[in-house]
Structure formats: structure tokens, C-alpha cells
Structure 1
């Protein structure tokens, strides 16, 4: 698990000092990798105890483990001149993360929900939504594909806490998406977010987070960089396969329970 993911997961437990510390670390990742706890405390104008508590709020044993996570993140984010290798590394990271992730809570939420929605803004998000909808339809799960601003605002008024929204955002910082998500949270409507694995506002606000890794390839022929987004489709496919395994195991347990009652 990356530091950005821990920040998203435990964001509600962080106070103003904690967020200031993280802001400094995120902007000086390479420098902080070598700083002693007293040095970081001095740069953030807080006590060493505050740094230690910040680390512990992220479920880490202490500052030493935080530095280990930071070093691993820095090693993974080093510029890779081999574009093919960079893209393959991004795919492998997504596969590893979703394969190891316990998605039971997400699947239980999907199964018990009255209505399922998938929402995102933009051409890329539109393709991802369609794939999400198409894939889960195979399992008999119908996700209603929401498009645009007007439709989203209208649905908020109709939705209840028995529904669930899957919100797709590459950056996790789109202002309308954030306002939309906040309106859902006011009504206690569960949100599953799909974003890039980084510190982002949507992930912090969501009940459940799914992450992708992408590779940004600098342009050679024009001013437009290429960002590989296939990892979103890889994530959806493996998530679906895990859901099918979950359903299979659930059905076996129910059958075993029924046989036990007959006996």
C-alpha cells in the first residue's frame, strides 16, 4: 500500500498539523526520504511527537516505517526512459493491487443495493463506464450509466441510502464530481471511487476506493503527452472476476447451510 493510499484511507483522522506535515512530505518526497524525525519536525515547525503520531495515524509503527514507505514510493516513481517498460510496470502494479485487495465489503454492498449507478465526466470516463456496465451485466448486475451534469443532479434527489454510486475520475479533483459526491454523502449514499493511486479529494470522501496506476509518456512529435489508461479496464476485469469468485463461494456456503438444516 502506498503512502497516498494511506492518506486517503485515514484522512478523516488527520488534523491540521497532520495535513501540513503530509503537504510538506508530498512536495519534498526525495528530501524527506533521508531526513531524521527531528529534521522533519523542524521543517514542519512541529514537535517530533507530532511527526510520530502522524505516522501512527496512518497505521504505521513509527517514523521509520513511514520512511520505508516513502523510499519504496520514490523508487517506483523514478523516471523510466523505456516507455514500454513504464506502461507494463503500471499494468503490473494495478494487477497486483486489485488481486491482493479484499473486496468483500464492496461486493456485499453491490449485492444488497437497490439501484446501482456508475458516473463519470469526459470521453475517457465514458468508455470506462460502458465497460464497467457491460462487464457486470454478465453477472446479472445492472449499473445505470449516468451522463452529464443535469442528469446527475436529478438523480441525487431520487437516490436513497439503499443505492450505491461508482464514481470514476482520473484525477479525483473535478469540482463538479466533488460537489456531486458531497451531495450523495449528505444523504448517506455509499460511494465507490475509481481514481489514480494518489492523494485525491474524491478518494478521501468515498466509502470504498479502487485505484489504478497509469504511465505518462512525454510527446515526441507534438505537445500532447500520452497517458496509458488501459489499466482502468484491467482493474474492471479483475474486479469482475473476483466478484464471480465471491458469488461462487457464497452460493457454496448457502448450499452447505441448507443441507445442514435438512439433516
Structure 2
């Protein structure tokens, strides 16, 4: 089995029995002695180990600095998923379903995430509008009614025009959904529903505001995929 691990991963117990020239009962007993409940349990574990090995095989061929760059993505993914709340997802789905219009506000490098979210909502039949111009955002926020909702996408949650817009909406009791990575940011504090991602803080572009938007993209995808499940 060690010498033919690739084949064993796809063989049934009968096929393994034929190739090893032993009975299936012998194989089951051998698996139990190795700590598995049976051959199926062994195969499942074996396949998972092979997937992990392939998934991270690149780490065996890079130096420490590149390895750290690669693993920062896993850190952001894992911690962002850990921060997610199912009640926040379900409540936001309900708000989107009930809203006459879904407005999305974003600035700078967060704009592509907002643009994708708007497109997907439109494909799902929602009246969605996305704005990134700071002056338009501030003016539009004064006219939005409480039968709509507004989604803010901001990595640090401190963008001045977005915070001003959120204050305008809060005064009119318009539901505010915020995607950010900073829990104590002004936008987070003004939110009715908060999607809090994890930002590793590591960037190779120290003099520019181009930190990874991966946490925002992950949360956006999870929300919209969940929305499809609940509405389709």
C-alpha cells in the first residue's frame, strides 16, 4: 500500500484485495490495527492528506520570505471565517430581500469588490446601485429612504466621506451594513450589521494604501452565495 499509494487512493477494497492477493477481511483488520474504523475511513484520510500535500507543495520550493507571503493569505482567510456570525449573514439576507433598493458605497481599492457585489445583486433581480464618487456619496446619502439599505465596503472603516454618509443614514434610520476589518472604526460603530474580516497587517507596499482586500472579498462572496441559497 505504501509502494502504490496513488493507486490505493482510487481502488475499492475489492480491487485492493485482488492486487494485494489477500482477503477483504484481512484489509479491514489491518486498517483497524492502524487506528482506522475501516478501509473507507483510511481512504478518506489518505485522500485528505494528499490534497493538503498538493495544496501546499509550493512551500517546499520557496524561501522563508516568500513562504510568509503565501501563508498570509491563509491567515486572513482562516481568521476572517472565524469572525463570521451566522446571525449577521441571515439578518443581512433578510434586509436585502426586503429592501426596495440596495445602495453600495466604496472608495479606492475596495471598489472592485463593491462593483462585483452590485453586479451579482442585479443578476439576482435586485435594484442595486453602486457609487464611488465622494461628492455623490455624500449627496445621495441625504436622499435615501428607510425602505432601502446601504452596504459600506471599507477596509479600515475610516474613509471620511463614507463616515459622513453613514451619519446621514443613521439619522434617518436607514439600515447600514458594513464590511471592514477594524472593529472600533467609525463605520463599524455606526453599523446595524457588521461583517468583520481579519487583516494581517503585512504589506509589501508600505508607502501606499493598497493592503489586501481578500477579507472583504471572502465575506462578500459568502453573503451573496448564502443569499442565493436562501432566495433561489
Does structure 2 retain, via aligned residues, the 8 Å contact 1:135–1:237?
A: no
Corresponding residue for residue 215 of structure 1: 200
Matching of residue 183 in structure 1 with residue 168 in structure 2: yes
Does structure 1 retain, via aligned residues, the 8 Å contact 2:93–2:223?
A: no
In the aligned structure 1, how far is the partner of 2:77 from the partner of 2:203?
18
The aligned runs of 1:24-103 (5 Å cut-off) are: 82-98=68-84, 100=86, 102-103=88-89
Matching of residue 139 in structure 1 with residue 124 in structure 2: yes
Does structure 2 retain, via aligned residues, the 8 Å contact 1:99–1:238?
A: no
Shift of the alpha carbon at 1:211? 1.7
Q: Normalising by the residue count of structure 2, what TM-score does the alignment of the two structures yield?
A: 0.63
Does structure 2 retain, via aligned residues, the 8 Å contact 1:215–1:227?
A: no
Matching of residue 206 in structure 1 with residue 191 in structure 2: yes
Tell me the SS of whatever aligns to 2:180. Answer: strand
- Structure 1 residues 199, 162: CA separation in 2 closer, same or farther (over 3 Å shift)? same
Shift of the alpha carbon at 1:234? 1.8
Q: Normalising by the residue count of structure 1, what TM-score does the alignment of the two structures yield?
A: 0.57
Does structure 2 retain, via aligned residues, the 8 Å contact 1:156–1:184?
A: yes
Corresponding residue for residue 94 of structure 2: 108
Unaligned segments of structure 2, at least 5 residues: 1-66
Tell me the SS of whatever aligns to 2:104. Answer: strand
Does structure 1 retain, via aligned residues, the 8 Å contact 2:88–2:195?
A: no
- Structure 1 residues 115, 228: CA separation in 2 closer, same or farther (over 3 Å shift)? same
Does structure 2 retain, via aligned residues, the 8 Å contact 1:193–1:202?
A: yes
Tell me the SS of whatever aligns to 1:215. Answer: coil
Residues 140-149 or 185-194, more deviating: 140-149
Q: CA RMSD in A?
A: 2.4
Corresponding residue for residue 229 of structure 1: 213
Corresponding residue for residue 161 of structure 1: 146
In the aligned structure 2, how far is the partner of 1:225 from the partner of 1:157?
28
In the aligned structure 2, how far is the partner of 1:237 from the partner of 1:218?
23
Larger radius of gyration: 2
Unaligned segments of structure 1, at least 5 residues: 1-80, 249-263
Stretches of 4+ moved more than 3 A in 1? 95-102, 222-226
